[in-house]
Amino acid sequence: MHTKWSLRDVIFLALIGVFFGFIFWAWAFAYNAIAALLTPMGLSPYANDLTLGPWVMAGPMAGYLLRKAGASIIGETLAGTAEMIFGSQWGIMNVVYGLMQGLGAELGFALFGYKKWQPISLTASVILTTVVTFIWDLFQSGYANYSFGLLVGLFVTRLISIALFGGVLVYYVQKLVDKSGILNQTKVTVS
């Protein structure tokens, strides 16, 4: 792993932030529709956990692609900032949530000292993102008031959503990026 940040890394990180910021902004419409569908059945709390996977993708994507300390937390926070700028219904809280989501992903990669860039570190990122964001929602979103059974259901739903989007999808995107060679650290020489 190269520990120095190159201009290409910074540009790629910014692109991840803006791209996912737009995706996050658009995904809010799906969240609102899902919440509306689940509310008459008394299942509206599941809307957040069911749809959280796409909202946390920028962190693991930035970390797993760039393989730099800090990439996950910066990528997710940039995406939350971009989402806010695009006009998200949650305003400044997008930045705060981005910071929390990025922290979870970052902890997963830090657990392996930023040296193992394999499915095991991505799995740790998924699990720690799930745990960190769930603890955050216990206090921020009132989850502490829910019954134990509902909390278990929400946690499992969140874990599956984050595993699919922040784990499996990120893994396969990384494979495509590696195959393309776009992030290879080769020097260009002019003769």
pLDDT at residue 2 in the model? 58
- Residue given tokens 């990528």 in the structure block: 75
pLDDT (mean) for 77-99: 96
| Both tokens assigned to 178 | 């590696």
What is the residue whose two structure tokens read 């569908």? Answer: 37
| Whole-Å CA distances, 122 to 11, 49, 79, 106, 114 | 23, 19, 19, 10, 11
122-125: list long-range contacts, CB under 8 Å, 24+ apart.
122/60, 122/64, 122/167, 122/170, 122/171, 123/167, 125/59, 125/60, 125/63, 125/64, 125/72, 125/166, 125/167
pLDDT digits (tens, 9 = 90+) for 165-176: 999 999 999 999
Q: pLDDT above 70 covers what percent of the chain? A: 95
Q: What is the pLDDT of residue 185?
A: 57
pLDDT band at 184 (very low <50, low <70, confident <90, very high): confident
Record the pTM. Answer: 0.90
Phi, psi of 77 (to 5 degrees): -70, -40
Q: What gap in Å lies between CA 122 and CA 125, rounded to an integer?
A: 5
In the structure encoding, which two tokens stand for residue 188, read together?
């260009």
- Structural domain 7-180, CATH architecture: Orthogonal Bundle (1.10)
Q: Write down the mean pLDDT value for the chain.
A: 93
Query: b/e map of 31-70 (b: 16 or more CB within 10 Å)?
Result: beebbeeeeeeeeebbbbbbbbbbbbbbbbbbbbbbbbbb
pLDDT given at position 180: 86
Q: Domain residues of the chain, as ranges? A: 7-180
